[in-house]
Amino acid sequence: MMNIQLLVDLGSTFTKVVAIDLDAVEIISRTQAPSTVDVDVTIGLREALNKISDAVDMGSLQVKDSLACTSAAGGLRVVSIGLVPELSCEAATRTALGAGAKVIGHYSYELTREEVFEIRELSPDLILLAGGTNGGDKRVITHNAKMLADCRSLESCIVVAGNKAARDDLGEIFKNANQTVRFTQNIMPDIGILNTDPCHKVIRELFLDTIVKAKGIANAKTILGGVLIPTPVAVLTAARLLAAGIEGDGLGELIVIDAGGATTDVHSIAEGSPAEGVVTLGMLPEPYVKRTVEGDLGVRHNMDTLLRLAKERGIPINNNFHEGIEAFSSISALPQNETELNLDMILASVAVEVATERHAGKIEVFYSPAGKILVQHGKDLGNVKCVIGTGGPIVFSAEPGRVLRKALYSAEKPDILKPKHSKLYVDKEYILYAAGLLAQVDPGRALTLMRKYLKEC
């Protein structure tokens, strides 16, 4: 009798299930079925589960013990609100990204009526309301809370993570509000400190209890048992585990690049501290686990942007590509011939290159009486030892190594602090999200699984 674990990803396009043999720690089967979130999420889920039970002797395995993540119905859509754009507003955005969110808007200073109207139209799943260090400014967060509470037709969940000195006043303001409101610790308790963990915990709970219900995917819980996390959280969990290992046996600092149809995401698990002789001036410290999402670099949704960027970078663009572009108009389309493969390779390469350039830190030079001063903005990823690629356009590429090399340091742009000597790995079997799910209950096997299936390229 095999010891099996099912891992489920309720995506916006496909519901994927992978079955892992926990004794041998290997993939024994994987299936997928079109997602049916618009109608009833359980239809597609049942279909995918039925397929897997046809393929695998489930024995006494309970589907209820599956672990699942989801990016269906737009993922976790968040609006972040803060006081100063570069401080609490940016802190809120980073915190949301670290919680697996897609940040669909950010606002700073006092909200205007028009902005509140805009937020209502955006209809985010969650609003992260920050502002003020502890003991710092109370006026703006109080104003913004009032504006949100007064908008009765705004139904988003609100997480309040600002100046603790405003907590009681805000409690009063939200007492009779229409929205589900949760209070947590300040994400920026002082200048230069980012405190994301308590806020992440609250977002996770809200996602599970309230947001999946609003999104119409709560029914999945009746089949799958309890826990459902946002897919990016599963990927982040996997990346963090892979870097740390169980007893210091991890790969060390690393980057995971997920090139997708709608966005290209970069995750760095790295200190990113400045090299000797370089100083930082940052307004906000950089998180050890950092995730950025490039909404204009989706290899299906943003082909025009990517081809324009490719041209600017002197990459030759074949005239036959317009056919390929048509073929790729569906987000799940895979390349069918050499032209399309070539096109996909260019799209993915540019997405990887630009997304890592934006994620990595930069060096700025100042001149002083004592000579040059090198100032670092963002994380120095120069010493990162591993770059891991996932997402169709990288995984299915004929030469994933060529695509991933674009994530590395380039002598042409010495001011951008990308990895200098990294090994490159490809997530051939799409195991990262699954390993992240498994890591919640069995980090040891999750690590083994990744070690087995990530291929150096």
Partner 1 sequence: MQEQITVITGTVGWDAHVIGTKILSRTLRDAGFKTVELGIKTPPGDFIKAAQETNADVIMISSLYGMAEFDLKGFKEKCIESGIGDTLLYIGGMLAVGKHDFKEVERKFKELGFDRVYPQETDLSEVIQHLKEDLQRKGKRISR
Neighbours of 420 (CB within 10 A): 12
| Binding of partner 1 by 191 (CB under 8 A) | yes
| Binding of partner 1 by 87 (CB under 8 A) | yes
Q: Would you say 316 or 371 has its CB closer to partner 1?
A: 371
Among 43, 84, 177, 223, binds partner 1 (CB under 8 A): 84
Of 227-286, binders to partner 1 (CB under 8 A) are 281, 283
**Nearest distance, CB of residue 88 and partner 1, angstroms:** 6
**Nearest distance, CB of residue 101 and partner 1, angstroms:** 22
Please name the residue that has the structure tokens 């200098």: 420
Q: Would you say 141 or 257 has its CB closer to partner 1?
A: 141
Of 88-117, binders to partner 1 (CB under 8 A) are 88
Tell me if 119 sits within 8 A of 83, measured CB to CB. no
| Span interacting with partner 1, options 93-101, 185-193, 229-237, 328-336, rule CB under 8 A | 185-193
Among 83, 145, 251, 307, binds partner 1 (CB under 8 A): 83
Q: Would you say 186 or 268 has its CB closer to partner 1?
A: 186
**Nearest distance, CB of residue 291 and partner 1, angstroms:** 23
Q: Would you say 171 or 192 has its CB closer to partner 1?
A: 192
How many CA atoms lie less than 13 Å away from 326 in the CB half-sphere? 3
| Span interacting with partner 1, options 8-16, 285-293, 368-376, 427-435, rule CB under 8 A | 368-376
Among 70, 133, 144, 263, binds partner 1 (CB under 8 A): 133
| Binding of partner 1 by 188 (CB under 8 A) | yes
Q: Would you say 108 or 237 has its CB closer to partner 1?
A: 108
| Span interacting with partner 1, options 86-94, 206-214, 294-302, 428-436, rule CB under 8 A | 86-94
Q: Would you say 53 or 134 has its CB closer to partner 1?
A: 134
Q: Would you say 208 or 375 has its CB closer to partner 1?
A: 375
**Nearest distance, CB of residue 186 and partner 1, angstroms:** 11
Indicate the Cα dihedral angle 97, 102, 103, 104, nearest 10°: 180
| Nearest Cα residue to 215 out of 64, 330, 102 | 102
Among 192, 273, 332, 441, binds partner 1 (CB under 8 A): 192
| Binding of partner 1 by 163 (CB under 8 A) | yes
| Span interacting with partner 1, options 39-47, 126-134, 319-327, 419-427, rule CB under 8 A | 126-134
Which three-class secondary structure string do you get for the chain? CCCEEEEEEECCCEEEEEEEECCCCEEEEEEEEECCCCCCHHHHHHHHHHHHHHHCCCCCCCHHHCEEEECCCCCEEEEEECCCHHHHHHHHHHHHHHCCEEEEEEECCCCCHHHHHHHHHHCCCEEEECCCCCCCCCHHHHHHHHHHHHCCCCCCEEEECCCHHHHHHHHHHHCCCCCCEEECCCCCCCCCCCCCHHHHHHHHHHHHHHHHHHCCCCHHHHHHCCCEEEHHHHHHHHHHHHHHCCCCCCCCCEEEEEECCCCEEEEEECCCCCCCCEEECCCCCCCCEEEEEECCCCCCCCHHHHHHHHHHCCCCCCCCHHHHHHHCCCCCCCCCCHHHHHHHHHHHHHHHHHHHHHHECEEEEEEECCEEEEEEECECCCCCCEEEEECHHHHCCCCHHHHHHHHCCCCCCCCECCCCCCEEEECCCCCHHHHHHHHCCCHHHHHHHHHHHCEEC
Q: Would you say 189 or 250 has its CB closer to partner 1?
A: 189
| Binding of partner 1 by 132 (CB under 8 A) | yes
**Nearest distance, CB of residue 130 and partner 1, angstroms:** 10
Q: Would you say 127 or 166 has its CB closer to partner 1?
A: 166
| Span interacting with partner 1, options 41-49, 129-137, 142-150, 426-434, rule CB under 8 A | 129-137
Q: What is the rounded CA–CA span in Å between residue 411 and residue 84? A: 35
**Nearest distance, CB of residue 162 and partner 1, angstroms:** 10
Of 372-431, binders to partner 1 (CB under 8 A) are 373, 375
- The residue ranges that bind partner 1 (CB under 8 A) are 83-84, 86-88, 131-133, 135-139, 163, 188, 191-192, 281, 283, 366-369, 373, 375
